[in-house]
Structure 1
């Protein structure tokens, strides 16, 4: 009988610390939470330790000669209320009202958090790199009286003593309020559209009278304007926040449009990481997620794959097109 080979100093990938960590990493949302923390730390570092690139400017440039609004229509705190706390409250209440399982609560809040922090991080990276002057830069700068008006000058001509007021004058592009508003309220709009099945196809009642189930659902969805307007209301709110930045002369239309597009893109990207497309007939249920994040697969509906989806969804909780159902 051949004696077993010594295993001292050899790490078994299926066991030990490495194996336990690998299983933990693959079966939980640890990577998502760690990624969120890294983005948060990066955002805070940008806020406190990074100054923007200071582009040269001219005192004759009327585009940066607007007055500085001491009182903003939507202060930063209000932007947090409208784009973070309000969507968060609606998401939690909606899940509680539908008796959602813990998994759905988790991915709903996690998706919103990642959307907001990623949009904020990307916005600040671009802001500091571009260094575009705000429309109220001259009022912030308070240039010296002897500054020439017909040449390009630098920040050295400014007499403003408030550090934040001065340097924030070169953070015009893109609009942070706009990107944050669309990242939070845009995510809420997507969530509501999925829960109310605004764009869902299939999965309706039984056919009858020569009409298929899919036809009945499509007619119902197209005629339900009130639900569609409700889902679009958060986008209107985000748009009004963006417009307020132009009214306060903090940004121009170009800044808020790009900021809004950035926030909406991040919101959609974050939403789709956890939820099926809005056209899926299971759009109101999130993806199952890692196995370790579930209690017992199939026991309590937490990440459960429906019987009719087995074999078609390859074990994933995803939507199925009408073409598949009709075959």
Structure 2
């Protein structure tokens, strides 16, 4: 009698011996890699935020594009942006999952995806800001050039009279215009929330049903469109993110180019982070996340990653 054939689809890694084997098993059977990556992103963000100064691009005191007044009171302060783009999405995700009696795994990946979206967006935004060194529309009001500065030539930060020690942030932040951090952060958090709601409410979901008169295993895709009310509900977070982005132009902190690129950056990272844990919005199972690593959740079974046949409703006999 021939020995049984090994299952090539098994997601359980072979066990090794000793401490290294145990660590390898733990790494592959849990979300350890995701949390280590998150911590690295968080550390990188704090390093860039508190130790890196921006590139100070040369400017002209006659440039009207950087001659707008400096608004001491912002329409959406940083604390409010955290409220709208972090705590409000957290409340929405948790409330939705509690209302639908979601399992622990669903709670876990919903919040983990949001956290990764926000911190990765923040890190990328700060790296680009400091590298580009683009002057803000209110740079001259921050810089306060010394009297007699030539008007028709390019000058450097050395002509600024604002005290770089007592008002360090106000001065150096004048070269962090591109892209808009408020815009990228708001679209990272509220954009992720919009995607999550669209999946849970099945606004774009396609269902698979047996082919009429055909073999039971032959499936046909049936489009089931969500109603307008649900679609508008899912779009509301994006409108809020757009309003936050536009407020930055009203405060003369950024121009349209800054907020557009910032919003696109946040939305792109939000979509990338969402799709790491959830099927496409057109999937018949868009309201259920991918299964976690074997051993990561109660029950200990499942696959981690994008399983195409499960997403499309094919191949029900997966070992």
The reply on whether 1:78 has 2:80 as its aligned counterpart is yes
The reply on whether 1:175 has 2:174 as its aligned counterpart is no
SS of equivalent residue, structure 1 residue 293: coil
SS of equivalent residue, structure 2 residue 252: coil
Would you say the 8 A contact 1:283–1:319 is kept in 2? no
Q: How far did 1:70 drift?
A: 0.3
Output the aligned Cα RMSD: 2.4
Equivalent residue, structure 1, for 2:242: 239
Equivalent residue, structure 2, for 1:90: 92
Equivalent residue, structure 2, for 1:154: 156
Would you say the 8 A contact 2:208–2:313 is kept in 1? no
SS of equivalent residue, structure 1 residue 202: strand
Q: Of 250, 266, 270, which residue of structure 2 is paired with 1:263? A: 266
- Residues in 2 aligned to 1:13 and 1:283: alpha-carbon distance in whole angstroms: 33
- The normalised TM-score by structure 2 is 0.87
Q: How far did 1:205 drift?
A: 11
Aligned residue pairs: how many? Answer: 293
- Residues in 1 aligned to 2:91 and 2:279: alpha-carbon distance in whole angstroms: 22
- Residues in 2 aligned to 1:142 and 1:34: alpha-carbon distance in whole angstroms: 44
Q: How far did 1:47 drift?
A: 1.1
Label 1:55 to 1:17 Cα distance change in 2 as closer, same or farther (>3 A).
Answer: same
Cα deviation digits, residues 15-54 of structure 1 (max 9, x gap): 1111000000001111111111111111111111100000
Q: Of 160, 163, 172, which residue of structure 1 is paired with 2:168? A: 163
Cα deviation digits, residues 187-237 of structure 1 (max 9, x gap): 000000000111110157998xxxx9854x52xx25x10000000000000
- Residues in 1 aligned to 2:311 and 2:293: alpha-carbon distance in whole angstroms: 14
Structure 1 segments (4+ residues) deviating >4 Å: 203-207, 212-215
- Residues in 1 aligned to 2:312 and 2:71: alpha-carbon distance in whole angstroms: 49
Label 1:98 to 1:204 Cα distance change in 2 as closer, same or farther (>3 A).
Answer: farther
Q: Of 225, 228, 235, which residue of structure 1 is paired with 2:228? A: 225
SS of equivalent residue, structure 2 residue 50: helix
The reply on whether 1:291 has 2:284 as its aligned counterpart is no
- Residues in 1 aligned to 2:152 and 2:32: alpha-carbon distance in whole angstroms: 56
Label 1:191 to 1:13 Cα distance change in 2 as closer, same or farther (>3 A).
Answer: closer
Equivalent residue, structure 1, for 2:5: none
Which residues of structure 1 form unaligned runs of 5+?
1-11, 306-312
Equivalent residue, structure 2, for 1:22: 24
Equivalent residue, structure 1, for 2:124: 122
- The normalised TM-score by structure 1 is 0.85
- Residues in 1 aligned to 2:140 and 2:177: alpha-carbon distance in whole angstroms: 13
Cα deviation digits, residues 33-87 of structure 1 (max 9, x gap): 1111111111111111100000000001000000000000000000000000000
Q: Of 193, 196, 214, which residue of structure 1 is paired with 2:198? A: 193
The reply on whether 1:276 has 2:279 as its aligned counterpart is yes
The reply on whether 1:320 has 2:313 as its aligned counterpart is yes
Which residues of structure 2 form unaligned runs of 5+?
1-13, 213-218
Would you say the 8 A contact 1:115–1:187 is kept in 2? yes
Between structures 1 and 2, the one with greater helix share = 1
- Residues in 2 aligned to 1:151 and 1:84: alpha-carbon distance in whole angstroms: 44
Would you say the 8 A contact 1:112–1:184 is kept in 2? yes
Would you say the 8 A contact 2:52–2:130 is kept in 1? yes
Would you say the 8 A contact 1:286–1:317 is kept in 2? no
